[in-house]
Structure 1
């Protein structure tokens, strides 16, 4: 996603409100007009405890957003909102319990009425129903190449990766090169069959698996020879390179399924 696209997204209410909530305490504390009214004090400076909380917040945001594989401004913001708003909640409660309760109410209210904007661009993705649904598609015609994303709706890294996967499907999908998605939160049987952890602390979400001839040939992230998971940043360019999508697309386009074979497949 380009920087210009990021800027266009920032004007949407979801991002504007969340940015405001994320810096609300700093603004209230540093602006004398607001500070004197809310905190009823002349010196609008952070005390030692507030400074500690803010430094801790900066550290956590930097670490956690890198772990989720965030690579654009919008991705960084989306990944950090939960931590920044949590820190603001603590700061408001620390300053005044009543203000903390009010902030918590606003926090929850906007979370309900302003969900994160979903990707609305073109996509060519087939949503599969669990392990059986995926297995049926793989066995329907083993000449088909499949790139399948295993995800959950609640995982921030999966949410961040969703528009990237949609863009890839719109660019590369062919009649013999399919893009599929399996929600392992709703279909834990798929998670078990393909060894993808769906736990809240899982480092395997999302997981991308490439299937050729009905069998897995590549996945990200993957475990090394010691069984340790190798970190992977799910950016557009990284996915293209890791799965060699340009060459797969070229090979599939050179070897399309013939019309007679297509009719036989539909009849089956």
Structure 2
């Protein structure tokens, strides 16, 4: 039931609704021409489902592939039709972007000033895993569900999760050494703070292209990189011993 409600809510978003209507208009007009490409499209989605880190990433990849197929078929039928769909996709891109996952989990949304206050109040054992993101970054949208899921599973009394939208606060990006360049590949950046000081970050400063990580923003990659399983077990044991 929850899945069905999420699908309905997703389709009500302008980004998805406009794309759905655009593809539907073509499929209704040229059903016979698109039938042969359906199995290939389904196989592609199954392949991407195994590779993608989230539902948002799967949908984003699926829409990109579907646009390519639609433009190819439209070009074969009539170049004027292809030009029309190109214009339509451009208008959709300018009017609305793919929405991020709206769940919060245990992630605390904060400003850079609030982050500084949280870090200054930290103790030697308290850790903060902070996601620095921007609402206009496609990679941040694709990974938006990942961080929320991790916060729900790994939050403890000594490990907190927070998110800062540095797209709204560009000066904060300079303070934490994060570039807002579209082609740099530093968004999202995850930094683990302990006792108010940075311990480790992903992607590392010397690996901003993510070459050391085949899928750096998947749940499994973040769990392994920040040793979240070990931290969770340690925190639970410490809290149990205090009791």
Unaligned runs of 5+ in 1: 36-44, 46-60, 257-268
Q: What do you get for the CA RMSD once the two structures are aligned? A: 4.2
Q: Does 1:152 align with 2:152?
A: no
TM-score calculated relative to the size of structure 2? 0.68
3-state SS of 1:180 partner? strand
CA distance in 2, matches of 1:148, 1:113: 27
More deviation, 107-116/167-176: 107-116
CA distance in 2, matches of 1:104, 1:7: 32
More deviation, 19-28/209-218: 19-28
3-state SS of 2:200 partner? strand
Alignment of 1:12-161 (within 5 A): 12-13=10-11, 18=19, 21-22=22-23, 25=26, 28-29=29-30, 31=32, 70-71=52-53, 75-81=57-63, 84-85=66-67, 88=70, 95=78, 97=80, 100-101=83-84, 104=87, 108=91, 116=99, 118-120=101-103, 123-130=105-112, 132-143=113-124, 144-161=126-143
CA distance in 1, matches of 2:136, 2:149: 21
Quickly say closer, same or farther: Cα 1:81–1:6, change in 2 above 3 A: farther
1:214 maps to what in 2? 196
CA distance in 2, matches of 1:72, 1:6: 14
CA distance in 2, matches of 1:91, 1:82: 15
2:165 maps to what in 1? 183
Question: Computing the radius of gyration over CA atoms, which structure comes out larger, 1 or 2?
Answer: 1
Name which structure has the greater RCO, CA cutoff 8 Å, separation 6+.
2
Unaligned runs of 5+ in 2: 37-43
2:222 to 239, 244, 249: 239
1:163 maps to what in 2? 145
CA distance in 1, matches of 2:18, 2:209: 39
Q: Does 1:198 align with 2:180?
A: yes
In the alignment, is the contact (CA less than 8 A) between 1:93 and 1:101 conserved in 2?
no
CA distance in 2, matches of 1:27, 1:202: 41
Give the CA deviation at 1:178.
0.9
CA distance in 2, matches of 1:228, 1:103: 30
Number of aligned residue pairs: 222
1:265 maps to what in 2? none
